[in-house]
Amino acid sequence: MAERRLYFLIPDRAHALVVVDDLISHGIDIEHMRAVGDRHTRMDGLPGVSTRGAAAATTRLQRLIWNTNTTCFAAALVATILVPVFTGLSWWLLLPAGAMCVNFMTGLYLNTASSTELNEFRDALAHGEILLIVDVPETRAARVEQEIQLHHPEATSRWAQATGL
């Protein structure tokens, strides 16, 4: 069954705890919820807590992959220039050209696949707001959103595409 990802931007921890309790009372399993906040925001008691500071490990890994990719690209570029000089045009020239193509495609993927999911919430998180991410069955998404908006008008909501979970 396809699931839909709902995002609720909530002004503070107290409101977020109440929203989580309401979601649980509506039959949403706490395992399908995750709270995200700035590293300075108090997050205890919220489900699947992660902070933007915790994303530092992911950022370091992306930077390592990007630097490795750039180094391989530069080496392949140099090889593309030097191979014809020392050996003449040959099939070996395809090796660095292929490496450059693979590195270019990897770079494009890493550039678009980075943590864009939370980018639009960056300013709100920096101001101490909490983002509650909830995965619900697609058939219940509209009803869950209506219930939260009815009982918690302070929670700003947004849908995402089906998560395929």
Q: What's the pLDDT tens digit per position in 122-141?
A: 788 888 899 998 989 889 98
What band does 110 get if pLDDT is binned at 50, 70 and 90? low
Average pLDDT on 42-49 reads 83
Separation between Cα atoms, residue 136 and residue 163, nearest integer Å: 9
* 97 alpha carbon, distance to own chain's centre: 32
Amino acid code (one letter) for 27: G
Is the pLDDT confidence value at 99 over 90? no
Who's near 50: CB < 8 A, 6+ residues apart? 34, 35, 36
What band does 58 get if pLDDT is binned at 50, 70 and 90? low
What band does 14 get if pLDDT is binned at 50, 70 and 90? very high
Coil, strand, or helix at residue 138? coil
According to the model, what pLDDT value does residue 54 have? 47
Q: What is the pTM of this model?
A: 0.59
Pick among 3.40.50.970, 3.40.50.720, 3.40.640.10, 3.30.70.120: CATH of 3-55+121-162 = 3.30.70.120
In this structure, the dihedral spanned by the alpha carbons of residues 145, 147, 152 and 156, taken in order and rounded to 10 degrees, is 10
Judged by average pLDDT, the poorest of 26-30, 35-39, 47-51, 55-59 is 55-59
